[in-house]
Chain A
């Protein structure tokens, strides 16, 4: 049994202290981290609940339930931020990526506690792959929200559409991992490749300018 809430308290307390001690600008960063880890903690509870409710096996829980729950949970703190603080586009993107990264970090820590940290190469690939996948999902949602929340008529429909895109991408990654074997290494490499290509494409017009 993993006492995930104890792990959360251990990881969250230094961040909370830092958020209180640092200035107001830095506090946002730490609060986004806390929100991401909190979303991960709640996702674990909700995943377990749905897995029990539908009597799901490991594959169904990983490839069908977890992506939906996790992406919805990651979106909730962002929606709160957007609705309450009405930020500019750039902070929205940053907040989405920080939430996603802290979510991935907490997920990795829980994975290490459950499965041990003995196999360096596997842990290395898993850490990078999961991190990249969550960053892509964060970038899809964050980048998209920054764009669609500038237009009133796009807000609700655009948010639903972006959430759907992030869920499907996350589900494809989880599906490949659930299959195991060599396929799961494709899953770890794929987000890194997409991230690299995406970064190059984003930089392309800037270098022309």
Chain B
């Protein structure tokens, strides 16, 4: 089941890569370039993981090379958030963004008791950064009128992505296994939809 979901995730992110590539060729904006990088890195990570499972029927033992691709994709997502934000938005103060570390730090401590500390610190650190900027952007977009509010969809999309990632890791701690009935599988499937949903949301944000 894990193999099928990973394969699906690869094809969805590959589709996202191609579609954002077409949009980049049309508009030549930095935002679409960063979206290409996001989808491309995620697709490469998924492809490596899927191929490893398919060819050797096991997961990598020494380095999780896929994580390099996935971590890179989150870096590009963060850069995309930064690119789409205006200088006014960056200087806007908002206490609600503190929700990101309030939720992320305890979860990080919880994950560290289950797995590799360095990897969990890195992942949760990035998720906290991404969600912090999203909450900040969402609150700022709510104060805007007209087209400025369109950025909400982009921030909501990223918050959904972060929430599903947290749900995926938490379900992995309680219900390990890759059967169809495992919540881990369903969260992974949900993650695939969230990833694809980022494409129209970013398109709306770029047009703004």
Listed in ascending order, the chain A residues whose CB lies under 8 Å from chain B are 54, 56, 59-60, 63-65, 67-68, 144, 147, 153-154, 157-158, 160-165, 167-169, 171-172, 175-176, 179, 183, 201, 204-205
Asked if A165 contacts B40 (CB within 8 A), the reply is yes
The docked-state distance in angstroms from the alpha carbon of A4 to that of B51 is 32
Mark B residues whose CB is within 8 Å of A: 21, 25, 33, 37, 40-41, 44-45, 47-48, 51-52, 55-56, 60-63, 65-66, 68-69, 71-73, 75-76, 78-79, 82
* Shortest Cβ distance from A156 into B: residue: B75
B63 and A64: CB pair below 8 A? yes
Partner of B65, one of A54, A59, A68, A179: A68
Partner of B79, one of A56, A154, A179, A201: A154
Are B65 and A64 touching (Cβ within 8 A)?
yes
Q: Please determine whether B63 and A68 come into contact, CB atoms closer than 8 angstroms.
A: yes
The 8 closest A-B pairs by CB, nearest first: A164-B72, A168-B69, A168-B44, A164-B68, A161-B75, A161-B72, A171-B65, A64-B63
Q: Which of A164, A172, A175 has the most CB of B within 10 A?
A: A164
Alpha-carbon distance between A65 and B82 when the two chains are bound, in angstroms: 33
Q: Which residue of B lies closest to A153 (CB)?
A: B82
Are B25 and A175 within 8 A (Cβ)?
A: no
Which A residue's beta carbon lies closest to that of B45? A168
